[in-house]
Amino acid sequence: MKQKIHNFNSGPAILSEEVFQEASRAVLNFNNSGLSILEIGHRTPAFIDVLQEARQLVKELMNLNDEYEVLFLHGGASTQFFQIPMNLLDRFETAAYTDTGVFAAKAIKEAKLFGNINVVCSSADKNYNYLPKDFIVPDDAKYLHITSNNTIYGTQWKVFPDANIPIVADMSSDILSREIDYNKFDLIYAGAQKNLGCAGVTIVVVKKNILGKVERDIPTMMDYRMHIKENSLLNTAPVFAIYVAYLNLKWLKNTGGVEQKEILNRKKSELIYAEIDRNKMFTGTTEIEDRSMMNACFVAKDEKTEKSFLEYCKEKNIYGIKGHRLAGGFRASMYNALPLESVEYLVRVMQDFESLS
């Protein structure tokens, strides 16, 4: 018997029950082929169909125009931190980076190995709990790098900075969670394990015309052009992770697409932030105007309360509520697949905890 758990984990994160059911069945018998999804060739027609449909769903859900290619790659977003400058930035060129969190800072560190990095803004002074507003993006930088949502500290760009240069965005934690104009970006990347699927695959959406403009030799596996040429089958693809992403994208489309998910995500985040602000035991840690719809971060009024709320959540089958080790406190991650009921439940648990104290 599976007990009901409310999963607020920051990633890998909850997916819909029907995705779990279908993925589980495919491990035994994929598409009624008599074979497991784990033992079929990545170049078989059945899997090429999955890959092609997944690619098409990404294009459709993001409303991408024909200038874009959708790639399913290995290595996680952390590999993109160096793969992007390796492909886009020559040794003596400059790229503009925004320093708005731990992962943004990691992207900066890796990019420095490949060219000059101009950090155009930073919120490190206040433990990344806000997003910088007044800064200039230079017109002569090769590209601007931005992290659309800060998973660890819970900030999210509501309006993206103005830039006359290509924009590269790490959207690992909020891709397809809200309606934005994805065509404004020249490269978008996201580890799958939050809003897209399970861990083990990374989606890269790239405008073809920004590629092929650096002089360095790029290893084959790191060259986006090679992956485009081979339709994400340059080597053995992470078959199962792509299949789960495909199931999840299909689920997303069939349950109203990004439009409906944004409505739901807004409702969930309003509910939790209202409770954080009301409840005497807790305080939100993020600048109100920059609060993320995906990750709500808060702390308890003291250490004892923190410990005891963690214990209480455990008793109540609330999973993954502990804050990141760098941020402390609590974090409720509320990606697309987290039902409204789980947030309503957490709010009641927070209220009960307050009244018991």
Binding positions for a second copy, rule: CB under 8 A: 2-5, 7, 9-15, 20-21, 23-25, 27-29, 33-36, 38-42, 74-79, 81-82, 86, 106, 109-110, 113, 191, 193, 198-201, 217, 219-222, 234-241, 244, 317, 319-320
| E strand or H helix at 275 | helix 257-278
Q: Compute the least distance from the CB of residue 23 to a second copy, in Å.
A: 5
Q: Is 322 helix (H, G, I), strand (E, B) or coil?
A: strand
Estimate the share of the chain in helix, then strand, then coil, as percent rounded to the nearest 5.
Answer: 40, 15, 45
| Residues pairing with 268 in the sheet | none
Pick between residue 89 and residue 180 the one whose CB is nearest to a second copy: 89
| Residues pairing with 227 in the sheet | none
Determine the straight-line distance between the first and last CA of the chain, rounded to whole angstroms.
33
Q: Degrees (nearest 5) of the Cα angle 185, 218, 116? A: 60
Helices (H), 29-185: 45-61, 76-88, 102-111
Pick between residue 34 and residue 356 the one whose CB is nearest to a second copy: 34
Tally the C-alpha atoms within 13 A of residue 151's C-alpha that lie toward its C-beta.
26
* Tally: H helices and E strands in the chain: 9, 14
Asked whether 184 and 163 are in contact (CB, 8 A), the reply is no
* 124: its two tokens: 């490190």
* Matching residue, tokens 């998910």: 261
Pick between residue 31 and residue 127 the one whose CB is nearest to a second copy: 31
Pick between residue 28 and residue 340 the one whose CB is nearest to a second copy: 28
Q: Compute the least distance from the CB of residue 181 to a second copy, in Å.
A: 28
Q: Compute the least distance from the CB of residue 58 to a second copy, in Å.
A: 19
- State the Cα–Cα distance between residues 213 and 98, nearest whole angstrom: 23
Pick between residue 46 and residue 136 the one whose CB is nearest to a second copy: 46
Q: Compute the least distance from the CB of residue 274 to a second copy, in Å.
A: 26
Pick between residue 160 and residue 319 the one whose CB is nearest to a second copy: 319
Q: Is 11 exposed, middle or buried (0-12, 13-18, 19+ CB in 10 A)?
A: buried
Pick between residue 96 and residue 107 the one whose CB is nearest to a second copy: 107
Q: Compute the least distance from the CB of residue 47 to a second copy, in Å.
A: 9
236: left (phi over 0), alpha (psi -120 to 50) or beta: beta
Q: Compute the least distance from the CB of residue 42 to a second copy, in Å.
A: 6
Max CA separation in the chain (angstroms):
65
Q: Compute the least distance from the CB of residue 312 to a second copy, in Å.
A: 18
Q: Compute the least distance from the CB of residue 301 to a second copy, in Å.
A: 26
Pick between residue 47 and residue 68 the one whose CB is nearest to a second copy: 47
Pick between residue 22 and residue 93 the one whose CB is nearest to a second copy: 22
Asked whether 204 and 188 are in contact (CB, 8 A), the reply is yes
Q: Is 63 helix (H, G, I), strand (E, B) or coil?
A: coil
Q: Compute the least distance from the CB of residue 208 to a second copy, in Å.
A: 22
